[in-house]
């Protein structure tokens, strides 16, 4: 430990009191600040390689084309590609009122302020205080040699010190802490974007499921009307002695069953409507969405090449920034093996009389550096360094897993869209065949050549095929939204705030 201290010079008759050498501290501080940027221990960060294939295994659905890299980003608000004004109006409210997004935004601001806190370590700390202490010395105190007692009495000490302390960042620990905080803030910004993407996609999924339910309700409304007409037909035929009471009972059962299914759909629709209300930050009682069936098929989505996925997904950007922050922690842990240099200075006014408190002879000052090094810690620093390396390895594995999961989600939804597109074509043929068969059977029943059981059987088949067609279209819309989400929803890493941005 090195220190230089000096008290106030006594007044000497005939001589002007010497001023304290103000340049002493500056002479120590400036070289220390220059040295603090000279060395940084620890590894330099390089993004580890991630598993990326040259092309997606699953080809885009028929009619789509793989976009070029420059076209691989969905421009603007991605939900507008569905051309649904009601969906657009709901999505606009998510960023404003969704509480989860507001929470993520507050966490980002918190992380950004943590950068400012870390940056303060690069500058000296100045503190000041003032005190007035009244004390009395005990009359029973004696000197260590036992030859005399301290002079007892009461006195007042007026003290006004000003202290300055600066820790030189010789090994880059403080700078790495600042950068770690900045990279953590970047990860928080990516987390905010991922939250926005997640809840926008969740609203779109709920919306299309609600519209699918509306389509099913429209189908059952038409079916109930048709079954009501068949019931009246069988009742008239019974009155004419052509049909039996069993035919009437079967027609009544068929009608009641369809009505029950129609009522049951209200449960699902209400739940989707309530979920949408929560996503836009409203109580369920304040939102009512008018009925409207699905009217169009999923629009084409620009896929892009697999390598661009690493820059387009905010969750991948978040994992990569967390990896960079963990790398800085390794350097911080290694800096602990080296000595720490602290410069401190204190100056002020002290007097036993308030009258003389603010006079020149009341001045005092001290200045000096301090070098500290841990000589023995039973392996603590070595374990902390190994712990930081292990934590970095965890983030590397997490990053690669997020990348793999991203590719899986893209492939899953591409295959889902392709298979459902083929299934939709087959189901359209099935619906057409079922309708034709039911129409022929109806004519035959009216002519008395077939039983009503055959009509009911074909009615069940036709209804099931039509419901399956509605379900397939709903699933295709859901897969389309999930594909947009898996591709990043139009976001890319260039929108991530820079280190300078989060450090302001």
pLDDT attached to residue 55: 83
Q: Mind giving me the DSSP string for 464-489?
A: HHHHHHHHHHHHHHHHHHHHHHHTTT
415 CB-contact burial (10 Å; exposed 0-12 / middle 13-18 / buried 19+): middle
Q: What is the pLDDT of residues 343-373, one digit of tens each?
A: 999 999 999 888 888 899 899 999 999 999 9
Dihedral sign (CA 367, 371, 377, 379)? positive
pLDDT attached to residue 70: 46
Instruction: Note whether 280 and 94 are within 8 A (CB).
Output: yes
Instruction: Note whether 352 and 156 are within 8 A (CB).
Output: yes
Outline where 336-379 has alpha helix (H): none
Instruction: Note whether 233 and 456 are within 8 A (CB).
Output: no
Q: What is the pLDDT of residues 466-480, one digit of tens each?
A: 999 999 999 999 999
Residue 335 lies in a domain: yes
pLDDT attached to residue 71: 47
pLDDT attached to residue 447: 86
Residue 348 lies in a domain: no
Nearest CA-CA partner of 320 in 386, 389, 397, 385: 397
pLDDT attached to residue 197: 95
Nearest CA-CA partner of 298 in 60, 459, 53: 60
Residue 162 lies in a domain: no
As a residue count, the chain comes to: 504
Q: How many CA atoms lie within 13 A of 494 on its CB side?
A: 3
Tokens of 470: 């509605």
- Computed over its alpha carbons, how large is the radius of gyration of the chain? 39
Predicted TM-score (pTM) of this structure:
0.84
Query: What is the tally of structural domains in the chain?
Result: 1
Residue 178 lies in a domain: yes
Q: What is the pLDDT of residues 121-147, one digit of tens each?
A: 999 999 999 999 998 877 776 666 656
pLDDT attached to residue 24: 47
Residue 65 lies in a domain: yes
Residue 14 lies in a domain: no
Residue 347 lies in a domain: no
pLDDT attached to residue 421: 92
Ranges in the chain, pLDDT < 50: 1-22, 24-25, 67-72
Measured distance CA(458)–CA(183) in Å, rounded: 64
Which is it for strands 363-372 and 340-351: parallel, antiparallel or unpaired?
antiparallel
Residue 112 lies in a domain: yes
CATH number of the domain encompassing residue 293: 1.20.1600.10
User: What is the residue range of 284's domain?
Assistant: 43-123+171-339+379-503
Which is it for strands 153-168 and 125-128: parallel, antiparallel or unpaired?
antiparallel
pLDDT attached to residue 80: 92
Query: What letter would DSSP give residue 292?
Result: -
């Amino acid at each position: 430990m090195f220190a230089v201290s000096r008290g106030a010079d006594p007044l000497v008759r005939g001589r002007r009191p010497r001023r304290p050498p103000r340049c002493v501290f500056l002479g120590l501080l400036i070289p220390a600040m220059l040295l603090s940027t000279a060395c940084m221990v620890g590894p330099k960060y390089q993004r580890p390689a991630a598993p990326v294939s040259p092309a997606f295994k699953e080809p885009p659905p028929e009619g789509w084309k793989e976009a070029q890299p420059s076209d691989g980003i969905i421009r603007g608000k991605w939900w507008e590609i569905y051309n649904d004004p009601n969906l657009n109006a709901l999505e606009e409210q998510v960023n404003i009122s969704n509480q989860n997004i507001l929470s993520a935004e507050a966490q980002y601001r918190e992380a950004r302020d943590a950068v400012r806190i870390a940056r303060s370590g690069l500058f000296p700390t100045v503190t000041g205080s003032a005190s007035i202490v009244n004390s009395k010395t005990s009359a029973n105190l004696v000197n260590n040699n036992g030859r005399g007692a301290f002079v007892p009495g009461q006195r007042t000490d007026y003290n006004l010190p000003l202290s300055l302390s600066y820790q030189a960042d010789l090994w880059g620990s403080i700078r790495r802490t600042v950068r770690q905080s900045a990279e953590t803030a970047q990860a928080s910004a990516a987390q905010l974007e991922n939250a926005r993407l997640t809840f926008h996609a969740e609203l779109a999924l709920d919306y299309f499921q609600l519209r699918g339910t509306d389509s099913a309700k429209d189908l059952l409304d038409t079916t109930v009307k048709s079954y009501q007409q068949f019931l009246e037909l069988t009742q008239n035929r019974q009155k004419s002695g052509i049909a039996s009471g069993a035919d009437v009972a079967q027609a009544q059962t068929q009608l009641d069953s369809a009505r029950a299914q129609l009522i049951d759909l209200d449960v699902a629709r209400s739940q989707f409507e309530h979920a949408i209300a929560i996503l836009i930050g409203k109580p369920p009682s304040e939102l009512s969405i008018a009925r409207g069936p699905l009217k169009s098929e999923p629009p084409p989505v620009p896929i892009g090449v697999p390598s661009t996925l690493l820059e387009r997904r905010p969750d991948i950007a978040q994992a990569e920034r967390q990896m960079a922050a963990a790398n800085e922690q390794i350097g911080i842990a290694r800096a602990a093996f080296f000595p720490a240099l602290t410069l401190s200075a204190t100056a002020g006014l002290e007097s036993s009389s308030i009258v003389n408190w603010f006079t020149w002879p009341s001045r005092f000052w001290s200045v000096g550096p301090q070098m500290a090094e841990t000589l023995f810690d039973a392996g603590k620093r070595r374990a902390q360094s190994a712990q930081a390396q292990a934590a970095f390895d965890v983030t590397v594995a997490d990053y690669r897993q997020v990348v793999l999961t991203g590719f899986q989600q893209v492939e899953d939804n591409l295959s889902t869209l392709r298979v459902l597109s083929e299934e939709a074509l087959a189901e359209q043929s099935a619906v057409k065949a079922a309708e034709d068969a039911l129409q022929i059977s109806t004519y035959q029943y009216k002519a008395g050549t077939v039983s009503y059981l055959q009509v009911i059987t074909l009615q069940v088949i036709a209804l099931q095929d039509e419901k399956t067609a509605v379900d397939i279209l709903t699933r295709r819309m859901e897969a389309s939204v999930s594909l947009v989400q898996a591709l990043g929803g139009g976001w890319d890493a260039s929108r991530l705030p820079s280190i300078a941005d989060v450090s302001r």
